[in-house]
Amino acid sequence: MVDFSLTDEERQVRDTVRRFVQREVMPLENEVLRNERAGAPGLDRSVLRALQEKARTAGFWGIDTPEEYGGIALGPVMSCVLAMELGRTFVPFQFGGSADNILFAANDEQKRAYLLPTIAGERRPCFAITEPGAGSDARAIRTRAVRDGDDWVVTGEKTFITNGNEADFCMVFAVTDPEKGAAGGVTCFLVDRDMGWKSSPIPTMGEWGPAALSFDGVRVPAANVLGEVGRGFELAMSWIGKGRFMIPARAVGAAERLLEMAVGYANVRESMGHKIADYQAIQWQIADSQVEIEATKWLTLHAAWRAERGLDARHASSIAKLHGAVMANQVVDRVLQIHGGMGYTKELPIERWYRELRLLRIFEGTDEIQRRTIARNLLKGHVRLGTIGE
């Protein structure tokens, strides 16, 4: 039997997070809008840190971090459920106490210098693989690292790096053996900002603030190789694949919040003597949105379920990510349409959601890349149709 219910404990965890988002996070939305429209960051980092401490007091710290590092390791399914709750607000909040999964591959010395301070919120990293000529095709990276005595000398450019302008160290991927290609010729380095790399922000249509990174002969100690020399591409793929289903999870939360706005507006807005909720054109947009949200929800939870049981979740994650990204954009477009001219103004936050959600179809694997992956898996026989729970 397939059991879709949450345990009493899981339901309590979800409800606690839902109340926290409603009481502590959502009230900051107007402040975020004011700051962003004035050209400033949505919230000062100190405000976000204070929110994280409030959540920590409530028991939410390192939700996907192993207990040995001070986390609570809720697992992929509950992490997904909580991401849906956090997705209901555009305040850039996430629980503290976490670190990029590949940092757990660090040796003991590196863990002391990078992993533990990141979990504690004392250091801020960024993941740097994308380059001007290597976006979806990560195998095409050109950044080079050449061994020179006890150091590696890194030279190259990275682009669209999340947190790149705020990070004090980066996990940068560079070619160390061009003859071996991605399979054995790419290495990951832990590179502190004070080693010499530079960053500059990239303006975007949304509030995501990526950066361009420049490495001009940056000397990195050999002790700062993360994992093994030549095995960096495996780390990169594990980083990219680890949380791909978390993207549609947050999309579900955002879409549900937006649909609630549409339902509320349709029940009070009158046109030609009737509530617009009475018109079939509005009803169908609301119905289609509900169907698409529910489909994304279960595709996402299925991917998380596979990950939780140690099954290969990559194909399921690609399906969820593709469907969720398209769904969120369709829903926000319908919600804006239902609100008419008011939806297009900055008096309502819909236009802000509209710009933010457009990013989902691009980052962490574009729609086109997800379709290519799904089709290739089927055509090459990597996955089979007609299976349940396998």
- Judge contact between 99 and 109, C-beta under 8 A: no
Count the alpha carbons within 13 Å of 122 in the hemisphere toward its beta carbon.
Answer: 7
Q: What are phi and psi of 43, to 5 degrees?
A: -140, 145
DSSP state, residue 156: E
Helices 350-358 and 246-266 meet at what angle, rounded to 10? 150
**Which tokens in the block code for residue 133?**
């000529």
Considering all CA atoms of the chain, what is the largest pairwise distance in Å, rounded to the nearest integer?
A: 81
Would residue 228 show up in a list of annotated catalytic residues for this protein?
Answer: no
Q: Name residue 135's amino acid.
A: G
Query: Going by C-beta distance under 8 Å and a sequence separation of 6 or more, which residues neighbour residue 144?
Result: 154, 155, 156, 174, 175, 176, 178
Q: Give the span between the Cα atoms of 344 and 351, in whole angstroms.
A: 6
- Judge contact between 88 and 21, C-beta under 8 A: yes
- Judge contact between 256 and 88, C-beta under 8 A: yes
Q: Give the span between the Cα atoms of 321 and 323, in whole angstroms.
A: 6
Secondary structure (3-state) at 134: strand
Cβ atoms within 10 Å of 52's Cβ, excluding its own: 18
Which residue, among 354, 280, 372, has the nearest Cα to 318 in the 3D structure?
372
Which residue, among 317, 316, 315, has the nearest Cα to 377 in the 3D structure?
315
- Judge contact between 194 and 123, C-beta under 8 A: no
Q: How far apart, in Å, are the Cα atoms of 379 and each of 277, 303, 323, 382?
A: 45, 20, 20, 8
Q: How is the chain split among helix, strand and coil, in percent rounded to 5?
A: 55, 15, 30
Of 131, 234, 356, 364, which residue is the catalytic one?
364
Residues with a catalytic annotation lie at 364
